[in-house]
Amino acid sequence: MEMQAQFITFEGGDGAGKTTQIKKFRDWLVKEYNIDILLTREPGGTPEAEKIRNLLVQSDGGDWDPLSEALLLSAARREHLVKRIWPAMKKGQWVISDRFVDSTYAFQGYGMGLGLDYLQENYKRIADDFMPSLTLILDIDPVEGLERSGKQLDITTSELEKTENRYEVMGLEFHQKLREGFLDIAKRNPKRCRVIDASKSVDEVHKQICDIFIECLYKPYETAQIG
């Protein structure tokens, strides 16, 4: 019996290496477990949600009020869930997303001061009780993360991606709040969230992620099969 389709999310501050780790993790899951996987991202994931992404993450996308920003993110997330995530999982596909609702909690809730109560209520309206099976939070000191991110913008990204720096330029204090937010989210959700030291090498971080997957998702499944 195959494992039930899972929804796994990657979170963390800028420069934590999510994109690299997501691809390595996907390749490992395919090789080791022959799992059919959909990679996606937030904001984005559908044509409609990508249009909202352009408004929010590009440097010339506008100066949004935090509540307006949160509402735009909710609209994009609803489109993402209804048109991509849920249909994929219904077909048995696993979904791995580069950011999900925890980023809204961290960025708008902690970083911009909206708090969690309204954001959590709003999420429930668009998604009910649906949450990721596992959330991997790549933790890195904001100073190091922003330095990494700046180098990546200079060297490895496309011209379009270079404009997606609206949050990166918000200042160190904002990014420190983000880190505190993600760590607090992990404390509030110990069964779902795991914090990973993203300051280590790419291979070391990858090993942490694989070990967490085995511990949190594969071993329980294997045990259930034996039982």
CATH number at residue 154: 3.40.50.300
In a domain, 2, yes or no: no
Three-state DSSP state, 227: coil
In a domain, 204, yes or no: yes
In a domain, 52, yes or no: yes
Model confidence over 152-193: pLDDT tens digits?
Answer: 444 344 444 445 567 776 778 999 999 999 999 999 999 999
In a domain, 171, yes or no: yes
Q: What's the structural domain count of the chain?
A: 1
- pLDDT at position 218 is 85
- Cα atoms in the Cβ-side hemisphere of radius 13 Å centred on 199: 8
Residue with tokens 């011209």: 159
Rounded-to-10 torsion of CA 116, 118, 123, 129: 80
In a domain, 183, yes or no: yes
In a domain, 53, yes or no: yes
Structural domain span for residue 86: 7-226
In a domain, 149, yes or no: yes
Give every CB contact of residue 165 below 8 A, 6+ residues apart in sequence: 57, 59, 153
- pLDDT at position 165 is 63
Other residues' Cβ atoms within 10 Å of the Cβ of residue 191: 7
In a domain, 1, yes or no: no
The low-confidence residues of the chain, meaning pLDDT below 70, are 1, 59-62, 150-165, 169, 221-224, 226-227
Single-letter residue type at 148: R
Give every CB contact of residue 207 below 8 A, 6+ residues apart in sequence: none
| Long-range contacts at 56-62 (CB < 8 A, ≥ 24 apart) | 56/166, 57/164, 57/165, 57/166, 57/167, 58/163, 58/164, 58/166, 59/163, 59/164, 59/165, 59/166, 59/169, 60/163, 61/166
Q: Which two tokens stand for residue 17?
A: 């290496």
- pLDDT at position 146 is 86
Single pTM value for the model = 0.90
Residue with tokens 């609803």: 78
